[in-house]
Amino acid sequence: METSAIDQVRAGEFASETTYLNTASCGLLPRRTVEAVRRLADECAAGVRAGAGSFDSVDAARAGFARIAGVAPTRVAVGSSVATHVGLIAASLPPGAEVLAPTGEFASVVSPFAVRGDLRMRYVPLAGLAEAVRPGTALVAFSAVQSADGRVAGLEAVREAAAAHGARTLLDASQSAGWLPLDAGAYDYTVTGGFKFLLSPRGASFLTVTEDAQENLPALHAGWVAAEDRWNSTYGPVGKLAVDARRFDEPVAFLAYHGAEQSLALLNGIGVDAVHAHATGLAARFREGLASLGHEAVPGTSAIVAVPGLGGREPALSAAGVMVSARAGNLRAAFHLYNTEADVDHALDVLSG
């Protein structure tokens, strides 16, 4: 029997000792990623490296994410967290601007706007997000896939409504990039944490900005790494910021980016379309199995499956070696390229008692 690319990667790169269905919290690190991080740490400990890491790896990770996001690397800024990227966008809005977001949206997506205190925050149910965009809405901030229950937003409808009313769009792809095809160029901004479905170490995150939106975004993190000429901008005010989205770069954690370079290369080698088919197929099998046990999962075709009211079963599943999470009262399982039908069936067996 021919072995698929996913099967080959699973066998060669992952060594989970559990039935790991918790990528929505944190993805497993491939062996190549762990080796890259360990190699850099060893070099730093031995004093054989001039600095703490390589910008070549940072820029390779930037290019790897750009390929997944469907944009040029010049549209991608790197950093450490989604909340920090969102903070830049929050700082760009004038007082009184309206920010529209789904009810129950992940805190990192909405808190940087809310804490300003001079913006008008409006929350509506996810299903009605597109219809809620109105004249005067400055920004629609939302996740492609909801963290609490795995629901996929009506992406096209929201984009069309925002365009019709002149609103900008901010998409958080942290729970989708890596398994759900992403067209980052269709949004003014996207933010993505790398430690979930992108299988990267925590501390790597990505911001995409359209060329038009770059004009209004303040470069609040404008250290020397954001300069057009990094190494000749280390003292005094930066004379010239990078001409593209790199001017929004934060100083990075090199260990995270040496790892991210490897993880993103792995994902690009397989292709997001292949991962999407694999992960959503397993999720569908899990939903069917849950139904046979009398449990009703949140409907949809997401790779993240949530079962309302079943969050209390998480400790028992964990004790049986099935790693899931409890979020907002839901039992949440997430499927990725390293999962198999055997993982689905094991989780169902444990849930059956």
pLDDT digits (tens, 9 = 90+) for 159-216: 999 999 999 999 999 999 999 999 999 999 999 999 999 999 999 999 999 999 999 9
CA distance 73 to 59: 8
Closest CA to 138 of 156, 113, 157, 117: 113
**Ranges of each domain in the chain:** 5-30+271-351, 55-269
Q: What is the pLDDT of residues 107-119, one digit of tens each?
A: 999 999 999 999 9
Q: What value, to the nearest 5°, has the Cα angle with vertex 123 and ends 296 and 111? A: 100
**Tokens matching residue 231:** 């190494």
Q: Does domain 55-269 have CATH number 3.40.250.10?
A: no
Query: What DSSP string runs through 300-322?
Result: SS-SEEEEET-GGGHHHHHHTTE
Backbone angles phi and psi of 346, in degrees to 5: -65, -45
204 contacts 78 by C-beta, under 8 angstroms: yes
Give the three-class secondary structure for 98: strand
* Contact (CB, 8 A) for 232 and 177: no
- How far is residue 40's CA from residue 345's CA, in Å, rounded to a whole number? 39
- Overall pTM > 0.75: yes
Question: Could you tell me the CATH superfamily of domain 5-30+271-351?
Answer: Aspartate Aminotransferase, domain 1 (3.90.1150.10)
